[in-house]
Chains A and B, each alone.
Chain A
């Protein structure tokens, strides 16, 4: 996409220079392009240029039936496809007035929490890689692989899973599902300790992240940040608690929050979240109710006219679906409220006055996925 540069090379001060970071940059996590105005290596201001991955998903939604559209949401945040699917299916269910049966909700919760762990693992690996620690990424992928194997066994796909269907599940859990999940859970906490051993107390890691990219709670709220970014700033808010969905109201878990809103806090928050997810999965796996796995909603979905907004706590923040129905088989309007997009907006504010190296750290700590930013 040949976007013409919009900020012309204005007359710069003696030490100012414009540096273009992305879209082909090793650490902008995809095709993000950040235009940095630098004073030496210090960032004066920045501008995000996005849209390189824009595929018009919302427009596509208007020309597909509800069921046909479900695989598309997997491709927005492609590292947390299960979560996307959960949000979409629940939104449509709400639009229909239907509700998935308990067993489906339990399985959904387990898979979504596993997906959250997988997403955070990917984040941790790449974030550490951005800050120059190259080993955690391999450890993280080792555990992520286990999760993806469970997904693969469950629905045949690893990345863009399309695991859930509107109204519940398509597949019953496979034989040994519970054992696989338990086996994963058994090792997982010690593995998280392993990552933390490499990073949490590491002087260089602390120097690189503490006090970097500070976002105050007020700013975070004003800028609409959600998910770990918001919680890292000390706002104890989690949609799983605020508006419980799936089966989250049945489980005990803590909402980790940070204190200073810096990169280190967001790191700690996500590390804690992985432990909490592990806790939820352990509770859920022991109490999966039996029963049907799908609600009776009919083959042709024709939700009555009206609209619904439903959001879930995706790994990256509040993932919302706003669907307007005109009574036909296709959504009249389908809006995806992408957490990455809104969180990315905070970047400029966070990196002003920092150095180029911090830009990378801050982009990493926001945990964006460009597929979701651009949709």
Chain B
């Protein structure tokens, strides 16, 4: 049996990778992908704990997180499309206006 904390360690590592991606990449699309990594790391934790305690509540939370991820991706990428049509770029550091 794999100890639960191994899952936690994997989740932590994935989370960190995601954070690095969010902080360092310029391309918004890749930043979004890194966000997905972070959310996945959380999901691993939730499922691992659900398994540990033998309850499905963690699964429910994970489903909601996936729902949120889908909503986030839809809206975020929608904003990105709108932004790209106006500014012709997908670079995060060029999004420096509060209004355009």
Do any beta carbons of A and B sit within 8 angstroms of each other in the complex? Answer: yes
Residues of A within 8 A of B (CB): 14
Q: In whole angstroms, how far apart are the Cα atoms of A82 and B91 in the complex?
A: 65
Instruction: Count residues of chain B with CB under 8 A from any CB of chain A.
Output: 3
* CB of B85 within 8 Å of the partner chain: yes
Which residues of B sit under 8 angstroms from A14, Cβ to Cβ?
Answer: 84-85, 88
Determine the distance from Cα of A129 to Cα of B16 in the docked complex, in whole angstroms: 56
**A-B residue pairs in contact (CB < 8 Å), sample of 3:** A14-B84, A14-B85, A14-B88
Give the CA-CA distance A327 to B91 in the complex, in Å.
76
Give B19 Cβ to nearest chain A Cβ, in Å. Answer: 32
Distance of A215 from chain B, by nearest CB (Å): 35
Task: Identify the B interface with A (CB < 8 A).
Answer: 84-85, 88
Bound Cα distance A14, B85 (Å): 6
A234 to B93, CA, bound (A): 61
Please name the 3 residue pairs, one residue from A and one from B, whose CB atoms are nearest each other, closest first: A14-B85, A14-B84, A14-B88
Per the bound structure, the CA–CA distance linking A14 and B81 in Å amounts to: 10
Question: Smallest CB–CB gap between A16 and chain B, Å?
Answer: 12
CB-based nearest B residue for A14: B85
C-alpha gap A103/B85 in the complex (Å): 71
Name B81's closest neighbour in chain A (CB-CB): A14
Query: Which residue of chain B is the closest to A13 with respect to CB atoms?
Result: B85
Measured between alpha carbons, how far is A318 from B78 in the docked complex, in Å? 54
Q: Which residues of A contact B84 (CB under 8 A)?
A: 14
CA distance A14 to B90 in the complex (A): 14
Q: How far is the CB of B32 from chain A (nearest CB, A)?
A: 20
Contacts of B85 in A (CB 8 A): 14
A88, chain B: closest CB distance, angstroms? 57
Docked pose: A311 CA to B85 CA in angstroms? 54
Give the Cβ gap from B90 to chain A, nearest Cβ, in Å: 13
| Cα separation A14 to B88 with both chains bound (whole Å) | 8
Shortest distance in angstroms between A15's beta carbon and chain B's nearest beta carbon? 8
Shortest CB-to-CB span from A79 to chain B, Å, is: 47
CB distance from B81 to the nearest CB of A (A): 9
Min distance, Cβ B100 to any Cβ of chain A, angstroms: 15
Within the complex, the shortest CB–CB distance from A13 to chain B, in Å, comes to 9
In angstroms, how far is the closest chain A Cβ from the Cβ of B80? 13
Q: How far is the CA of A114 from the CA of B24 in the complex (A)?
A: 74
Complex alpha-carbon distance, A14 and B84, angstroms: 9
Q: Which residues of A contact B88 (CB under 8 A)?
A: 14
Query: In the bound complex, what is the Cα–Cα distance between A210 and B52 (angstroms)?
Result: 64
Closest to B88 in A: A14
Q: Which residue of B lies closest to A15 (CB)?
A: B85
A14 to B86 CA separation, bound complex (whole angstroms):
9
Q: How far is the CB of B84 from chain A (nearest CB, A)?
A: 8
Bound-state Cα–Cα, A148 to B84, Å: 59
B65 CB to nearest chain A CB (Å):
33
Query: What separation, in Å, do the CA atoms of A258 and B85 have in the docked complex?
Result: 44
Q: How far is the CB of B77 from chain A (nearest CB, A)?
A: 15
Closest A residue, CB atoms, query B84: A14
Q: How far is the CB of A299 from chain B (nearest CB, A)?
A: 74
Closest to B85 in A: A14
Chain B nearest Cβ from A244, distance in angstroms: 61
